[in-house]
C-alpha cells in the first residue's frame, strides 16, 4: 500500500497545509462548466455588517418607497401652503376692492341723504316727502323707507307712507336693527330745522347690488357689525383653516360695520384628496413586494446554507475518500480532482487542473493505449463496469488503477463532462499476484508430493523384478564360474546384466529421491554429453518410427550445473513424447506395417542470456492444439491412451528444481516445441534463486511456467 | 532333523521371484538357504525348532515390505522369542528412519534392492560367521555352566572365596571348618572345573558372570 511518506515533498507539504476542509476553500462543485478551468474559490469570510446588509436587502425597495411617499407628501404640503397663501392674497385683494366699492356706494347714499335733508322744508308731509327727487330715486335705488323727524322726534313724514314707524328711534349715527324684511340699516341726517331724516335700507340689497357676480361666486360676502352680528349676506358658517375669511372695516362710510369675505369653497388639503390613498396603495404594494422579496431571500439564504453544508459535507467526504475523483470537461481537460487522486498520482492539484490529454500521470509506455481509452471515454463508450489502466506516480512508481466513468450533467440536463472515480488496485493486484504465486507453489508442492507417492510405489514395484534379475544374474555368473565355463564374455555379459539391473534401480532411486524432496546431485557437465547419451538411448525407438532426429547444438555452449541423470531423463521424455505424437499422426497408424512417412525431431541448444542454456525439442507433428504447459504438466494428464501422465509433470519438477523453466509452444517445424532452460555452471545461483522474470526468456507463442525453485532445493544439503 | 543344526540363510520375502532369485544366487555360492513366503511361516518354523531343542542356525534375511506381517514386525516378534540369530533387512524402498529403527533394535545390516550380488553374498557370509562364533561361545558357556553346576554347596562356597584370593586359613575361619577340609574342597573344585590355579578360577568365574550365568 502506498504511504504518505512515499509522496514527494510538495504533496506532503500540501497535505499538511490543508488538512481540514474549510467552507470557504471548498472546490465549487459546479465548477465543471466548460468555461471554468479551476475550482471557484469564494473569498474569505464576509464581515457581519455585509452579511447584515445582505440579509436586509429585501427592505430596501420598501424603504425607498416610503421615502418617495414622504417626498410626495412634503411636496404636497408645500404646494398646499403656497396655494393657501395665494388664496389669501387674492381674498385680501378682493376684500379691499369690494370694500372700496361699498364705501363708494354708501358715501354716495350719504351724499344723497344730505342733499335730501338740506332740501327738505321745515314742515313736510308724506306727499311732499315722496315728491322729493332724492326720495324717489333713493327708494327706487336702495332705500326702503325715509322718515323725517322733527326736533322733538315726532314723525313728520314718512315715505312710503305705510312704512312702519320705528318704536325706538335710532341714534344719530348709523344703526342697525332687525325689521321684518331682515336686518336693515339706517342713515341719519340732521335737517337744518333741527329734525332728522332717517333713511332705512337693507344691507343685503346693498350687497346684492354692489357685489359683482364673480365675487359672489367665489366668496360668501357678508356685512357684520362690531359684535360679529350678521347684517347681510348668507348665513355665517364656521370659518376654518380651510375656509379663509377676511374682514375689512367699512369706516368711515359705515360705522362699526365690517365687510367679511369668506371663501366659498373650503380649500381641500392634500391629504383629503386621492393622493394619500394612492400613496398608501403604493407603500402597501411596496411592503407586499418587500415581504415577498424577503421570503424569497430567506428561501434563497436557506438554500444557500443547505448548499454550503452540502458542499462542506461533500468536500469532507471527497477528502476522506480513498477513491480518487477526477472531473473532466467535454474536451478531456481536468477540471476537478480530490485529494485522494492527488495523493494517488503524487501530484499537486495545480499541476493537474487544466491538464489535457496526454496526462502527466500516464505511464510512458502506455501512451497510445491510454489515448485510445481516453478517446473512447470522451466518446461515451467507457465500460460501465470500469476499466483498468496503468499509470505512473510522479516519482515513477507504477500505479494500477480501476476507473469508473460517469457523465457529469448540469442543472439543465446537458452533459458538461465526465466524472471518473479511480481506485488504486496496485496493492490488490500485488496481493493477487502473490497469492497466485503462492497457489502455484502449493500446486508444485502438491504435484511433488503426489509424484513422491507414485514414484515410491513405482520404485517398490520396479525394485522387486530388478532385484530378482540381479539375483539371477549373480547366481548364473557364479555357477558358470564354478563350472569352469570357458567363455568369459558370457560370464561378463551375465555380470553386466546384473549391473544394468542395478543401474535401473539407481535411476528409479534417483527419481524417487528427487520427488521425495532430495536435492538433485548437481555437477558440472556439458549439454552435448547429455544430448548424445539421451539420443544413444533413443536410437532404437527412432529407428523403429523412421523418425529423423537432428541435433543442432551451438558452438561453445557453456557447461551447465545440473544432475545429468535427471536432465537426460527429461530430454528422453520430451523426445519420446514427440515420437508418440508423430506416430499418432493420422496416416501413420493407418499405413500399418509400411514404414511411416517419418517425422522430424530436432534438438537444439542455444544460450539464453548469460546465465542460461535453452534446449528446444521441436517436432513436425500435430502440435499442442492450444493445450498449455500448465495442463500438460498436470499429473495424470496425458494425450496418449496408454500414458500415465507423469512424464511432463516429473520433467517440469526436475527442470524447476534446477532453477530453469519448462515451456511449451509451437514449433517452426509445424508441430510442438517443448523447451527448457538450464543454468550455466559458472552463473548458477546458490541463493537467492533468480526471479521468475530472469529465469528464462518467454517465447511469444508459448505459455510459460515461471521457474519456481523449490524451497527445499534452494539450500544445498 | 539333522538339518536343524545346519547353519543356513533363512530368507523371508513375499515376492516369489525375489525369493527364488536369492535362493539360486546363494546356492550357487554354496550357502544353505531356507525360504519362507511370510513372517508367520518363519515364526512357525522358528518355534518348532525351539520346541525340538534344535534351534535354527544361520542368519535371517527379511524383506521389509510384506503382507500380512512386515519385516519390522517380524523382527519384533523374533526379539520377543529371544532370537539369537543375526538379522539382515532387505528393502525395496529403504528409507533412513526405518533403517535406523531396525538397526537400533539389533538388526545387523540393511541392504537395498536391487542389490549387487557379491555385496549380498559377502554380508550374508559375514553374518553366518558371526553366528557361528556366537554359537561356539554359547556352547562353551553352557559347558562351563554344567561344570559349575556339578559343585556341591559347600564346594561352591569354598570356590567363591578362593576366587576372591582368600587364604585357606581365612576361608576355614569364615566357614567354621578345619583348614584341612578347606584344602580337600579346594582340590576337588579345581578338578571339577578343570583349572589349575586360583587365578584361572577367578578368570573363569568372571567370564561366566559376565555372560549372565
What pLDDT is stored for residue A487 in this prediction?
Answer: 86
- Quick check: A664 and A628 in contact, CB under 8 A? yes
What would the mean pLDDT of A180-188 be, rounded to a whole number? Answer: 67
What pLDDT is stored for residue A4 in this prediction?
Answer: 43
Chain A residues in contact with B90 by the CB 8 A cut-off are 467
Alpha helices in A321-366 (DSSP H): 339-345, 349-352
Whole-angstrom distance, CA of residue B155 vs CA of residue A709 = 79
Three cell numbers at A285? 404594494
What pLDDT is stored for residue A645 in this prediction?
Answer: 59
Whole-angstrom distance, CA of residue A715 vs CA of residue A694 = 20
Three cell numbers at B76? 519384533
Q: Residues 180 to 209 of B: which have CB under 8 A from any A CB?
A: none
Per DSSP, the three-state class of A142 is coil
pLDDT in tens, A550-564: 888 888 888 998 888
Distance, first Cα to last Cα, chain A: 37
Chain B residues in contact with A500 by the CB 8 A cut-off are none
Q: Chain A within 8 Å of B121 (Cβ-Cβ)?
A: yes
pLDDT in tens, B26-36: 998 889 999 99
pLDDT in tens, A52-103: 777 777 888 888 889 999 999 999 999 989 988 998 898 899 888 888 888 8
**Count of other CB atoms within 10 angstroms of residue A483:** 9
Residues of chain B with pLDDT under 50: 1-4, 213
Whole-angstrom distance, CA of residue A535 vs CA of residue A196 = 190
- SS3 string, A261-317, reads EEECCCCCCHHHCCHHHHHHHHHHHHHHHHHHHHHHHHHHHHHHHHHHHHHHHHHHH
CA distance, residue B41 to nearest chain A CA (Å): 21
Chain B residues in contact with A512 by the CB 8 A cut-off are 93
Nearest CA in chain B to A503: B114
CA distance, residue B133 to nearest chain A CA (Å): 27
Q: Chain A within 8 Å of B126 (Cβ-Cβ)?
A: no
pTM for this entry: 0.40
**pLDDT averaged over chain A?**
77
- Under the banding of pLDDT at 50, 70 and 90, the label for residue A635 is low
Of A467, A476, A512, the CB nearest to B114: A467
> Rounded to 5, what percent of chain B is helix, strand, coil?
60, 10, 30
- Under the banding of pLDDT at 50, 70 and 90, the label for residue A518 is low
- Quick check: A389 and A370 in contact, CB under 8 A? yes
pLDDT of residue A17 exceeding 90 = no
Chain B residues in contact with A459 by the CB 8 A cut-off are 92-93
Whole-angstrom distance, CA of residue A434 vs CA of residue A443 = 14
Cβ pair A467:B20 closer than 8 A: no
Whole-angstrom distance, CA of residue A619 vs CA of residue A138 = 169
Three cell numbers at B121? 553374498
Bridge partners, A365 (sequence order): none
What would the mean pLDDT of A145-152 be, rounded to a whole number? Answer: 83
Three cell numbers at A446? 502438491
Cβ pair B25:A475 closer than 8 A: yes
Q: Please choose, from the candidates A183, A182, A180, the residue with its C-alpha nearest in 3D space to the C-alpha of residue A165.
A: A180
CA distance, residue A541 to nearest chain B CA (Å): 27
The reply to whether omega before B68 is within 30° of 0 (cis) is yes
Whole-angstrom distance, CA of residue B201 vs CA of residue B203 = 5
pLDDT of residue A327 exceeding 50 = yes
Best B23, B28, B37, B95 member to test A by mutation, with max A CBs in 10 Å, is: B28
User: Interhelix angle for B71-80 vs B96-104, to 10°?
Assistant: 10
Distances (CA, A) of A429 to A435, A507, A681, B140: 9, 43, 36, 82
CA distance, residue B79 to nearest chain A CA (Å): 27
pLDDT of residue A695 exceeding 80 = no
Chain A residues in contact with B70 by the CB 8 A cut-off are none
Rg (CA), chain B: 24
Which residues in A have their CB inside 8 Å of a CB on B? 456, 459-460, 463-479, 482, 498-499, 501-502, 504-505, 509, 512
pLDDT in tens, A522-544: 888 899 988 988 888 788 788 88
Bridge partners, A177 (sequence order): A184
Whole-angstrom distance, CA of residue A455 vs CA of residue B95 = 14
CA distance, residue A458 to nearest chain B CA (Å): 10
Q: Residues 21 to 50 of B: which have CB under 8 A from any A CB?
A: 21-22, 24-29
Question: Which of A26-40, A107-121, A441-455, B135-149 is predicted with the least confidence, judged by mean pLDDT?
Answer: A26-40
Which value does ipTM take for this structure?
0.71
Distance of CA A573 to the CA centre of its chain: 67
What pLDDT is stored for residue B124 in this prediction?
Answer: 92
Distance of CA A627 to the CA centre of its chain: 53
Chain position carrying cell 533394535: B105
Share above pLDDT 90 across residues of chain A, in percent, rounded to a whole number: 7
Amino acid at each position: 500500500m502506498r504511504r504518505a511518506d512515499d509522496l514527494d515533498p510538495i504533496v506532503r507539504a500540501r497535505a499538511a497545509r490543508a488538512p481540514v476542509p474549510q467552507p470557504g476553500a471548498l472546490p465549487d462543485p459546479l465548477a465543471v462548466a466548460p468555461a471554468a478551468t479551476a475550482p471557484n474559490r469564494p473569498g474569505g469570510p464576509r464581515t457581519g455588517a455585509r452579511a447584515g446588509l445582505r440579509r436586509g436587502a429585501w427592505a430596501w425597495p420598501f424603504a425607498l418607497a416610503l421615502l418617495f411617499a414622504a417626498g410626495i407628501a412634503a411636496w404636497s404640503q408645500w404646494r398646499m401652503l403656497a396655494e393657501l397663501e395665494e388664496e389669501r392674497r387674492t381674498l385680501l385683494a378682493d376684500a379691499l376692492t369690494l370694500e372700496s366699492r361699498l364705501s363708494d356706494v354708501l358715501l354716495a347714499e350719504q351724499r344723497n341723504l344730505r342733499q335730501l335733508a338740506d332740501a327738505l322744508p321745515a314742515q313736510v308731509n308724506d306727499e311732499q316727502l315722496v315728491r322729493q327727487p332724492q326720495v324717489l330715486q333713493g327708494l327706487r335705488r336702495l332705500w326702503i323707507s325715509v322718515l323725517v323727524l322733527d326736533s322733538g322726534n315726532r314723525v313728520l313724514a314718512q315715505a312710503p307712507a305705510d312704512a312702519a314707524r320705528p318704536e325706538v328711534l335710532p341714534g344719530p349715527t348709523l344703526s342697525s336693527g332687525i325689521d321684518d324684511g331682515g336686518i336693515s340699516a339706517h342713515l341719519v341726517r340732521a335737517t337744518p330745522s333741527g329734525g332728522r331724516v332717517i333713511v332705512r335700507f337693507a344691507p343685503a340689497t346693498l350687497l346684492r347690488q354692489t357685489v359683482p357676480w364673480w365675487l359672489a361666486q367665489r366668496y360668501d360676502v357678508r356685512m357684520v357689525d362690531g359684535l360679529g352680528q350678521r347684517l347681510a349676506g348668507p348665513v355665517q358658517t364656521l370659518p376654518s383653516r380651510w375656509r379663509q375669511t377676511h374682514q375689512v372695516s367699512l369706516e368711515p362710510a359705515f360705522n362699526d360695520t365690517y365687510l367679511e369675505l369668506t371663501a366659498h369653497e373650503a380649500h381641500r388639503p392634500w391629504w383629503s384628496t386621492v393622493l394619500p390613498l394612492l400613496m398608501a396603495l403604493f407603500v402597501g404594494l411596496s411592503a407586499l413586494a418587500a415581504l415577498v422579496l424577503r421570503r424569497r431571500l430567506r428561501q434563497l439564504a436557506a438554500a444557500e446554507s443547505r448548499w454550503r453544508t452540502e458542499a462542506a459535507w461533500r468536500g469532507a467526504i471527497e477528502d476522506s475518500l480513498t477513491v480518487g475523483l477526477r472531473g473532466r470537461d467535454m474536451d478531456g481537460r481536468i477540471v476537478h480532482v480530490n485529494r485522494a487522486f492527488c495523493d494517488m498520482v503524487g501530484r499537486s492539484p495545480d499541476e493537474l487542473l487544466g491538464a489535457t490529454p496526454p496526462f502527466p500521470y500516464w505511464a510512458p509506455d502506455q501512451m497510445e493505449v491510454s489515448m485510445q481509452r481516453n478517446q473512447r471515454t470522451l466518446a461515451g463508450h467507457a465500460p460501465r463496469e470500469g476499466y483498468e489502466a496503468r499509470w505512473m506516480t510522479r516519482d515513477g512508481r507504477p500505479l494500477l488503477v480501476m476507473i469508473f466513468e460517469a457523465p457529469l450533467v448540469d442543472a439543465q440536463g446537458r452533459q458538461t463532462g465526465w466524472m471518473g472515480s479511480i481506485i488504486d488496485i496496485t496493492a490488490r493486484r500485488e496481493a493477487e499476484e502473490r497469492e497466485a504465486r503462492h497457489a502455484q507453489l502449493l500446486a508444485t508442492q502438491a504435484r511433488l508430493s503426489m509424484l513422491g507417492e507414485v514414484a515410491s510405489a513405482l520404485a517398490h514395484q520396479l525394485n522387486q523384478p530388478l532385484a530378482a534379475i540381479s539375483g539371477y544374474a549373480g547366481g548364473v555368473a557364479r555357477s558358470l564360474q564354478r563350472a569352469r565355463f570357458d567363455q568369459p564374455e558370457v560370464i561378463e555379459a551375465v555380470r553386466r546384466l546384473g549391473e544394468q539391473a542395478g543401474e535401473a534401480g539407481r535411476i528409479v532411486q534417483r527419481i524417487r529421491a528427487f520427488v521425495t524432496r532430495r536435492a538433485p546431485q548437481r555437477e558440472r557437465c556439458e549439454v552435448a554429453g547429455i544430448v548424445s547419451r539421451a539420443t544413444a538411448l533413443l536410437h532404437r525407438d527412432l529407428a523403429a518410427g523412421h523418425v529423423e532426429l537432428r541435433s543442432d547444438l551451438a558452438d561453445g555452449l557453456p557447461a551447465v550445473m545440473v544432475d545429468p541423470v535427471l536432465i537426460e531423463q527429461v530430454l528422453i521424455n520430451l523426445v519420446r513424447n514427440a515420437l508418440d505424437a508423430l506416430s499418432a499422426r493420422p496416416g501413420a497408424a493407418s499405413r500399418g506395417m509400411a514404414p511411416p512417412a517419418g517425422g522430424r525431431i530436432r534438438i537444439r541448444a542455444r544460450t539464453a542470456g548469460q546465465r542460461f542454456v535453452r534446449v528446444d525439442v521441436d517436432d513436425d507433428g500435430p502440435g499442442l492444439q492450444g493445450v498449455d504447459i500448465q495442463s500438460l504438466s498436470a499429473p495424470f494428464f496425458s494425450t496418449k491412451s496408454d500414458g500415465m501422465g507423469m512424464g511432463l509433470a516429473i520433467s517440469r519438477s526436475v527442470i524447476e528444481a534446477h532453477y530453469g523453466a519448462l515451456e511449451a509452444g509451437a514449433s517452426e517445424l509445424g508441430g510442438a516445441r517443448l523447451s527448457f532452460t538450464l543454468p550455466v555452471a559458472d552463473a548458477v545461483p546458490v541463493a537467492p534463486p533468480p526471479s521468475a522474470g530472469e529465469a528464462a526468456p518467454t517465447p511469444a507463442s508459448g505459455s510459460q511456467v515461471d521457474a519456481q525453485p523449490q524451497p527445499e532445493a534452494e539450500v544445498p544439503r | 532333523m539333522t538339518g536343524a543344526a545346519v547353519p543356513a540363510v533363512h530368507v523371508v520375502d513375499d515376492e516369489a521371484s525375489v525369493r527364488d532369485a536369492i535362493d539360486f544366487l546363494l546356492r550357487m555360492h554354496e550357502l544353505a538357504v531356507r525360504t519362507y513366503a511370510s513372517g508367520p511361516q518363519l515364526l512357525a518354523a522358528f518355534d518348532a525348532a525351539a520346541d525340538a531343542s534344535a534351534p535354527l542356525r544361520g542368519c535371517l534375511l527379511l524383506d521389509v515390505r510384506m503382507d500380512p506381517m512386515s519385516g519390522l514386525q517380524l523382527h519384533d516378534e523374533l526379539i520377543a522369542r529371544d532370537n539369537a540369530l543375526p538379522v539382515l533387512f532387505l528393502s525395496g524402498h529403504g528409507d533412513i528412519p526405518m533403517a535406523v529403527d531396525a538397526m537400533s533394535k539389533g538388526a545387523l545390516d540393511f541392504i537395498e534392492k536391487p542389490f549387487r550380488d557379491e555385496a549380498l553374498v559377502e554380508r550374508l557370509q559375514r553374518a553366518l560367521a558371526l553366528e557361528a562364533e556366537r554359537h561356539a561361545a554359547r556352547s562353551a558357556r553352557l559347558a562351563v555352566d554344567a561344570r559349575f553346576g556339578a559343585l556341591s554347596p559347600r564346594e561352591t562356597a569354598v570356590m567363591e572365596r578362593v576366587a576372591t584370593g582368600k587364604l585357606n586359613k581365612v576361608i576355614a575361619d569364615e566357614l567354621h571348618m578345619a583348614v584341612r577340609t578347606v584344602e580337600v574342597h579346594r582340590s576337588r573344585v579345581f578338578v571339577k572345573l578343570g583349572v589349575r590355579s586360583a587365578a584361572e578360577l577367578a578368570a573363569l568365574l568372571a567370564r561366566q558372570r559376565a555372560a549372565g550365568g
